[in-house]
Structure 1
Amino acid sequence: MLTILTIKRFTLRLNSLSITSYDHMISRLLNSQTLCSIYASHVKTRVLREDSHQQQVVTRLDQLNGQLNEHKPQSVVSRLWPFWSTNDRKSQVKGLYLYGSVGCGKTMLMDLFFENCCVSHQHKRRVHFHSFMIDFHTRVHRLKSEHRSERAFNPIASVAQSICDESWLLCLDEFQVTDIGDAMILKLLFEQLFSKGIVMIATSNRQPEDLYKNGLQRSNFLPFIPLLKQNCNVLSLDSGIDYRQRSLPSQQQTYFLTEENADKQLDRLFKMMANRENDTIRPKTLTIKERNVTFANTCGRVVDSTFAELCDRPLGAIDYLTMSQLFHTVIIRNIPQMSLLNKTQCRRFITMIDTFYDNRVRVLFSAEVPSNQLFLTNKLQDHINDDNRKLMDDLGIKLDSGKTVFSHHLQNDSNANIFSGEEEVFAFERTISRITEMLTKDYWNSRQIYT
């Protein structure tokens, strides 16, 4: 039986909900199953392995879910009750920043929360951090174009408001800051989002203090860290187990070594997959942000590409995301053993695998070495390539006695070596773990490609 208090609260909330939300609210009231009970059920049916570290996180997520049941973002409150002062509102619900080693279940737990929390689907959003920032920059660019005559126009507040209007529960997977543009803008963006009532759940491989570690001009990024901790409880998940490594391998081999007739094997597989597509084998050009990206060998939703096509060309997250939407299977041939001497390609490869993994793209690999040897972590030792030199010129950086010396406006960062590659080394641990999972039967069956 519902209590009188519960019915009153329910009636009050109905005033601001759509018809779709009615069904969701009734479902939540009639089904009082907690996240803990759902997790326990998955353990009992052996969908998940019992893990006390994960159980502690689920308990915290259950507590957060209870708080969200009474939460309304500022934008909703101001529309419904404009006479209600901000000072009369309950304090902002703190989100959760969950960090830990690769493969320990962070994303799985966030997805469990996202699918079963009390917030209706039209008010919540689950997205990879890279994709979220791409969307943010796209919106900013569009607004700047619309207001180009207004010199003092600041689009960040408008973009933050539009994000909050669309969804006030934000679940960001793989929160990792590697781009200086993102690093400089995060505090301004999230100040606006948090002030408008956004609640953020984030997963990351790094604790907040290690975000953008040794990054260029990190002193300008540091104020974001206390803002993050003020609005999110920080929780570690580190059981020391990489569950991706425990998955069963795919029945079909999907990772080939160059020396073992990899091209012949991939030719056979591409021909087999092409026969299932309603298309011919031909080049295909993708138009992305007014740029043309051409692939020489495609058939329907399958692309047969090389490492050079994907990582030597100036492609970024938006390009790999577009590929994920157009192709269900990607063949990547001739992957070399990478090192810090080709950091640009390494960064692209990391971003590509992250994007393909998040969108469950099937990948066939051929490489010079096994996946756990793809990246050499030796130090760079004063090697500065042409791209590095151009960046140094743009930022007023010069070399002095074999060391990186910064001009006067970067003196606060003079102890950071922007070409050290530490961020890439850290990120590549996750990449290798993800490739391992991408080779499994469970991963290949997770995307329905023929209907």
Structure 2
Amino acid sequence: MKQAVRGFDFRRIMDDKAQLNQFVLDEQQRQVIQSLHALGKTLNAPKKAAKGIFGLGGKKTGGVYIWGKVGRGKSFIVDSFFAAAPVSSKMRVHFHDFLRDLHRQMNAPQAADNTLETALGTLLGDCRLLCFDELHLHDVGDAMLVKGLLAWVISSGTVLVATSNYPPEQLLSHPLYHARFVPSIKLIEKHLEVVALGGTQDYRQLGSNDLTPFCEGVFLCPGNDLQRRECGLPQPGIGRQSLNMGSRTLELLSAPGDFLHFSFEALCVAPTAVMDYLALCDRCDCWIIEGVPKLAGQSGATQQRFINVIDVLYERQCRLYLFSEYGLDEMTRDVEQEDIQRTRSRLSQLKNYV
């Protein structure tokens, strides 16, 4: 049986995209593209044949783990690979959405077997290629789910392409929990080709993504009444009401309609969770967040909630109007959490109204 896909040429596909969009692929991007090109050549091999670590030319065929700083083109390249990959049974998932779906499946009352392995089998089925975007682990509970996912993917012969801002050895870096994830890190290093995507240019700063719904949002500083009126946004406190989220109640600053209108305190200082943000995105795809302070003065938990909110809004491509007395530089300065760089990069894509 033929195991190579002769007609697949991911290098040519990306050269054509670069020419169409008038940008130049740098050397590290070309290295990532070459790794995915080689991986794509193996995708039509039977799943049982894919269980081996090495395929064409001695390359690892379990997949590719791509890590690097924000805005270096990881998601763009992987999205392009996913679209072109010569296999019909494939899935592309975001980190937060997939974990929510996994929780739901494990807790489904009608499920005869609520084990993690059964839930993964139900969600992924006979998936041949799984593209997992923005892998980042700070919560030990999430890490144990990802640990099970990695084991399932590798044992089933599913090809995994993952992106992250972190090299594998820095996943779940908290010293109290890191040792519990070390076996999973070794699985990644054994079965996946680990490729770094560096470079000094944050391509999001170039404005090439400014037509997406998220990028149609606005960063309003200092967020005065004139700015509010000109953007057609409601005043806080008019029609204020509570929003029931099952076991949690969130306070809205104005009546829900075209917007969900939150204060920073209600959304990030209060003990909210990623599951809340995902459920809220299902209700409305346009948000207002008022009164974002200097984040360095907030607790680590509050900072992480804000990072998570922006991640979810960006992944779901919701429009965001963000009010702060501080510009983006001052708002994010001196925050120790590395993930704030991803948040900063994403917020820099909002239109500025100062």
Q: TM-score range by the shorter chain?
A: 0.7 to 0.9
Contact 1:362 1:438 in 2 (8 A): no
- Counterpart of 1:266 (choices 228, 239, 242) is 228
User: Residue deviations 1:166-217, cap 9 Å, x none?
Assistant: 6342111111001121223432342123212222111111100111113432
Q: Which whole-Å CA distance do the structure 2 matches of 1:263 and 1:208 have between them?
A: 47
User: Residue deviations 1:25-80, cap 9 Å, x none?
Assistant: xxx99xx36221121112222354332221221111111111112243x6xxxxxx
Q: Kindly state the Cα deviation for residue 226 of structure 1 after the two structures are TM-superposed.
A: 0.3
- What does residue range 414-429 of structure 1 map to in structure 2 within 5 Å? 425-429=337-341
Give secondary structure in 1 for the equivalent of 2:349.
helix
Q: Which whole-Å CA distance do the structure 1 matches of 2:303 and 2:240 have between them?
A: 26
Shift in alpha-carbon separation, 1:229–1:301, aligned structure 2, 3 A: farther
Contact 2:261 2:287 in 1 (8 A): yes
Q: 1:439 corresponds to which residue? A: 351
Which amino acid letter does the alignment assign opposite residue 173 of structure 2?
A: K
Shift in alpha-carbon separation, 1:340–1:162, aligned structure 2, 3 A: farther
Matched residues, number: 338
Q: Which whole-Å CA distance do the structure 1 matches of 2:157 and 2:8 have between them?
A: 26
Q: 2:57 corresponds to which residue? A: none
Which amino acid letter does the alignment assign opposite residue 343 of structure 1?
A: G
Q: Which whole-Å CA distance do the structure 2 matches of 1:96 and 1:328 have between them?
A: 32
Which is helix-richer, 1 or 2? 1
Q: Which whole-Å CA distance do the structure 2 matches of 1:330 and 1:223 have between them?
A: 40
Which amino acid letter does the alignment assign opposite residue 229 of structure 1?
A: E
- Counterpart of 1:52 (choices 27, 44, 65) is 27
**Are residues 1:350 and 2:307 paired?**
yes
- Counterpart of 1:100 (choices 62, 65, 68) is 68
Identity of aligned residues (%): 28
**Are residues 1:119 and 2:100 paired?**
no
Contact 2:253 2:263 in 1 (8 A): no
Q: TM-score, normalised by structure 1?
A: 0.67
- Counterpart of 2:192 (choices 226, 229, 232) is 232
Larger Cα-atom Rg: 1
**Are residues 1:91 and 2:48 paired?**
no
Q: Kindly state the Cα deviation for residue 352 of structure 1 after the two structures are TM-superposed.
A: 0.5
Q: 1:254 corresponds to which residue? A: 218
Which amino acid letter does the alignment assign opposite residue 52 of structure 2?
A: S
Q: Kindly state the Cα deviation for residue 360 of structure 1 after the two structures are TM-superposed.
A: 1.3
Contact 2:107 2:114 in 1 (8 A): no
Q: Which whole-Å CA distance do the structure 2 matches of 1:70 and 1:54 have between them?
A: 26
Q: Which whole-Å CA distance do the structure 1 matches of 2:84 and 2:244 have between them?
A: 37
- What does residue range 119-198 of structure 1 map to in structure 2 within 5 Å? 119-120=87-88, 123-142=89-108, 155-165=115-125, 167-198=127-158
Contact 2:91 2:129 in 1 (8 A): yes
Shift in alpha-carbon separation, 1:154–1:328, aligned structure 2, 3 A: closer
Structure 1 unaligned segments of length 5 or more: list them.
11-27, 75-87, 148-152, 273-280, 379-421, 441-451
What is the RMSD computed on CA atoms of the aligned residues?
3.0
Q: 2:252 corresponds to which residue? A: 295
Q: 1:80 corresponds to which residue? A: none
Contact 1:316 1:348 in 2 (8 A): yes
Give secondary structure in 2 for the equivalent of 1:318.
helix
Shift in alpha-carbon separation, 1:36–1:266, aligned structure 2, 3 A: same
Q: TM-score, normalised by structure 2?
A: 0.84
- What does residue range 211-222 of structure 1 map to in structure 2 within 5 Å? 211-222=171-182
Structure 2 unaligned segments of length 5 or more: list them.
54-60
Which amino acid letter does the alignment assign opposite residue 338 of structure 2?
A: F
